[in-house]
Amino acid sequence: MPRASSANIVTNVLTPTYALLMQNTAHADTSSIDPELLEKAQTRLEFLYAEVARTWPGFIARPGQYQMMQAALLTFLCAKPPQDETRQGENLAQLEAGTGTGKTVAYCLAAIVASELLQKTVIVSTATVALQEQLFHKDLPRLAQIIPELRFDILKGRGRYVCESRLEGAISDDAQDSLIDDGYADAFAAERRQTAPVTRDMSEAMRWFKSVAKKLQAGKWDGDIDSLVQPPAPEDWRQVQASAQACNGGQCEYFRSCAFFRARRQAAMATLQVANHALILATLQSDSALIDPGNTLFVFDEAHHLPGIAAEQFSYRARLGASARLLTSLRTVATRHAREMSASSRPDPVAFAQSITACTDQIAVFEDYWTQAELVSADKPVHRFSQGQIPPALIPECEQMVSILRSITSVVDGIAAFLLEPDEAKSPGERAEQTRAGVELGVYLSRLDTLERLFGAWATHDKVPWAKWLEWARNPNEAAAGASPAAPDAWLCASPMTAAQLLSRGLWKNVSAAVCTSATLTACGSFDFFDRLSGLNRFPKRRALVVASPFDYATQGELRIAPMRHSPKSAGFSDELCQKLPDLLREHEHGQLALFTSRRQMQACYAALPKDLLAQVQVQGERSRTELLKEHGRRVSKGERSIIFGLQSFGEGIDLPGQLCEHVLIDKLPFTPPTSPVEEALAEWLSTQGRDPFAEISVPRAGMKLAQWAGRGVRTVTDRAVITVCDTRLGTMRYGRDILAGLPPFPVLRQAAP
């Protein structure tokens, strides 16, 4: 029978690999797994893997893929509830799988088998929505053809869906004026960029609102922004997108048809759910019942992004001046709504007003502090507090601020709860207006929570301090013609230096089991860097495995260290690179990718190109990535040379197989100096501990990036590519040799400079 034949072929090819796997106790310990359960899981996994080999066109059974699949299965079979005190990390794994391994099939099959036997949900989390879409629309449907009972769905954040209530308000020209406007929302924005306002064509916006409302009502649109053929203008979408703060759940008249809740109900029926890192972390921070981590098997794909995303998730920031105006607005709104409450439950308006005044007075203390000390300005945009220590006189001010905010929150929470309680004595219109008022106060409550957490962080100085800083807040209307000058404002900011402790406590200790995977989890040949940033080093029995790529790098490529006379640290490096670049590019006839560590260097090299090469180069930013890659493919298909000049965002997530990328040129080792307040704080703290931030942070981070960049060259088993690094430190410095050890094992060619 064909099925038996396929199974035998797979087993015969891969059984020796599994035997080696089981001998390595570092990642293959089975002591805590029931032998009968393990046997059932292995039998089921072998069958499914054979089915994949039999039915997928062009599928090749690879030892590395099989090895990763087995390690993932053992991890999932060690799933235990969070309260189990015997857990030491057997249920956690970090599995690096080189390019071309086929890790998606490996971890999906392992997770599906474990889910069947343990009756647990699986969540596969990716770094971006784009990767979610790829899994959902391409990989999982193919697996479902083999496993008909497999039910999968996608989890997205609330903001990816339209709110019908807000859409109706936009069409009715009821722009929800009583809700906190964009100015107050911006006071708590996570983004540090502040741009000039965009002139908005309201007639065009109204046409779009009416068009999508018609499609929604006719069932021709599911309310998901990602399913729109043409994405809306960001400002239009913000006006109608779903928001946790502006949602009253089951009491909304659109609850049953709500795109967000409909998607959530559908996803809850799936065995395997596809999410993204930011959503998972945000959900686990809240009291949401969306995810039960103690009864879920997690896969974090592209896990090298997880520490960075987590650090952003756990940081807080708010504008001082805008926050004071928000509190003043809250006093008016809350007092007005409280009048509808009974005399016995109504808060004392005088006491509430005094609390608000006390809070704005405290904010004024911080405003006076930074303005009188001239800590930040347009010319000096950031002031970081050394060792995370704010002036001692400000600590009691922060503590008092936290106390006042809690008092205000308690009052507002009571008013909001009253407004959201259905009152059958009122007309439908009156009930709708009351509910709307409760939702409005919910938005204020969210802002109050951010302020409380922020000032709480400022008041605390732990053994491992948080990064704390002030940041100049440019008035977004400054660039507008005729705009009136506004009072200077500043952001108050706090962030953990790394998310290790927060991930350890909030994620790893709560999950049933989790596998972290990526093509680049190691740096300089070691998991140490990822271990420290992710907090996994706190679990002694965590599993760790590096699965080699199936590519034959010895014959498919070559890494060349360009013969440069100047080091990137010397003044003549840029000029020499501009001179040598044309010859390096002319050596290759088809597709090339030149990656630069700075925009200035990229622009200098582009400006210095001779006319013939200039016409063959596309520069990142001159058109969209999609259009640029499409034009690149068109040129290469016509037999022309096509070169892409890009920055670090082009060094990851771009797939250019075959002649599309025969040459990857890298200007220098991608060191990123600690320019952000958080990176500066971490480097400073490590130095005070007698540790070397360059060796512990800069080198492994550069090694991880360079491995990603070099990996753009060989994407299939038939590719051939040359990787050129124009930085002699890769071969001469000790840290360069450490970085080299973590790159794909290309033959290395060093040429002496003339």
pLDDT at 577 over 70: yes
Question: Within 13 A of 667's CA, how many CA atoms are on the CB side?
Answer: 29
Question: Of the candidates 499, 508, 466, 472, which has an alpha carbon nearest to the alpha carbon of residue 680?
Answer: 466
> So what's the pLDDT on residue 287?
63
Lowest mean pLDDT among 9-18, 247-256, 530-539, 681-690: 9-18
Tell me the two tokens of residue 122.
């699986």
CA distance 489 to 604: 36
CA distance 697 to 679: 9
At position 207, the amino acid (one-letter code) is R
580 and 445 in a single domain? The answer is no
- Output 667 or 440, whichever has higher pLDDT: 667
Question: Of the candidates 473, 412, 421, which has an alpha carbon nearest to the alpha carbon of residue 443?
Answer: 412
pLDDT tens track for 138-178: 889 999 999 999 999 999 888 899 998 888 878 876 444 44
- Please compute the mean of the pLDDT values over residues 28-47 and round it to a whole number: 91
Question: Of the candidates 133, 61, 71, 132, which has an alpha carbon nearest to the alpha carbon of residue 97?
Answer: 71
Q: Examine residue 300 and state whether it is found in any structural domain, yes or no.
A: no
471 and 563 in a single domain? The answer is no
Q: Examine residue 304 and state whether it is found in any structural domain, yes or no.
A: no
24 and 94 in a single domain? The answer is yes
In the listed set 251, 267, 283, which residue is the last one of a domain according to the structure?
251
pLDDT tens track for 298-313: 999 999 999 999 998 8
pLDDT tens track for 540-559: 999 999 998 899 999 999 99
How confident is the prediction for the chain on average, in pLDDT? Answer: 87
pLDDT at 191 over 80: no
- Please compute the mean of the pLDDT values over residues 34-47 and round it to a whole number: 95
Q: Examine residue 257 and state whether it is found in any structural domain, yes or no.
A: no
DSSP 660-724: GGSEEEE-S-------SHHHHHHHHHHHHTT--HIIIIIHHHHHHHHHHHHTTS--STT--EEEE
Q: Examine residue 574 and state whether it is found in any structural domain, yes or no.
A: yes
71 and 127 in a single domain? The answer is yes
DSSP 8-class letter at 241: B
Query: 3-state DSSP call for residue 246?
Result: coil
Q: Quote the domain boundaries for residue 123.
A: 2-151+502-547
565 and 658 in a single domain? The answer is yes
- Please compute the mean of the pLDDT values over residues 597-619 and round it to a whole number: 95
Q: Examine residue 303 and state whether it is found in any structural domain, yes or no.
A: no
pLDDT at 462 over 90: no
pLDDT tens track for 361-420: 999 999 999 999 999 999 999 999 999 999 999 999 999 999 999 999 999 999 988 887
648 and 717 in a single domain? The answer is yes
Percent of the chain with pLDDT over 90: 64
CA distance 393 to 376: 19
Residues facing 317 on adjacent strands: 493
DSSP 156-171: --GGGBB-HHHHHHHH
CA distance 298 to 121: 9
- Please compute the mean of the pLDDT values over residues 123-151 and round it to a whole number: 89
> So what's the pLDDT on residue 132?
84
> So what's the pLDDT on residue 190?
47
Which helix (H) or strand (E) is 508 found in, with range?
Answer: none
- Output 645 or 239, whichever has higher pLDDT: 645
pLDDT at 344 over 90: no
pLDDT at 56 over 80: yes
707 and 740 in a single domain? The answer is yes
- Please compute the mean of the pLDDT values over residues 261-290 and round it to a whole number: 88
- Output 30 or 316, whichever has higher pLDDT: 316
DSSP 8-class letter at 257: T
Domain count of the fold of the chain: 4
Asked whether the beta carbons of 176 and 243 are under 8 A apart, the reply is no
Non-local CB neighbours of 168 within 8 Å, separated by 6+ positions? 213
pLDDT at 421 over 90: no
Name the percent of the chain in helix, strand, coil, to the closest 5.
Answer: 50, 10, 35
* Other C-beta atoms lying within 10 Å of the C-beta of residue 453: 17
> So what's the pLDDT on residue 304?
94
- Please compute the mean of the pLDDT values over residues 341-357 and round it to a whole number: 92
- Please compute the mean of the pLDDT values over residues 19-44 and round it to a whole number: 76
Asked whether the beta carbons of 447 and 184 are under 8 A apart, the reply is yes
Lowest mean pLDDT among 232-241, 272-281, 380-389, 502-511: 232-241
pLDDT band at 247 (very low <50, low <70, confident <90, very high): confident
136 and 165 in a single domain? The answer is no
* Phi–psi pair at 646, nearest 5 degrees: -140, 165
Asked whether the beta carbons of 281 and 313 are under 8 A apart, the reply is yes
- Please compute the mean of the pLDDT values over residues 532-544 and round it to a whole number: 94
pLDDT band at 753 (very low <50, low <70, confident <90, very high): low
423 and 559 in a single domain? The answer is no
Asked whether the beta carbons of 94 and 302 are under 8 A apart, the reply is no
Question: Within 13 A of 749's CA, how many CA atoms are on the CB side?
Answer: 11
Lowest mean pLDDT among 243-247, 465-469, 513-517: 243-247
> So what's the pLDDT on residue 173?
62
pLDDT at 739 over 60: yes
pLDDT at 354 over 50: yes
> So what's the pLDDT on residue 479?
43
165 and 136 in a single domain? The answer is no
DSSP 312-356: HHT-EEEEHHHHHHHHHHHHHHHHHHHTTS-TTTS--HHHHHHHH
Lowest mean pLDDT among 55-59, 84-88, 172-176, 705-709: 172-176
Q: Examine residue 739 and state whether it is found in any structural domain, yes or no.
A: yes
574 and 519 in a single domain? The answer is no
Q: Examine residue 365 and state whether it is found in any structural domain, yes or no.
A: yes
Query: 3-state DSSP call for residue 99?
Result: coil
532 and 594 in a single domain? The answer is no
pLDDT at 21 over 80: no
> So what's the pLDDT on residue 178?
43
> So what's the pLDDT on residue 179?
47
Nearest 10 degrees: Cα torsion 593, 596, 602, 608: -70
- Please compute the mean of the pLDDT values over residues 178-206 and round it to a whole number: 57
Lowest mean pLDDT among 314-318, 360-364, 476-480: 476-480
Percent of the chain with pLDDT over 70: 90
> So what's the pLDDT on residue 485?
54
Q: Examine residue 68 and state whether it is found in any structural domain, yes or no.
A: yes
pLDDT at 186 over 70: no
- Please compute the mean of the pLDDT values over residues 35-64 and round it to a whole number: 91
Residue at token pair 């001239």: 374
Which helix (H) or strand (E) is 656 found in, with range?
Answer: none
Whole-prediction pTM value? 0.87
pLDDT at 338 over 50: yes
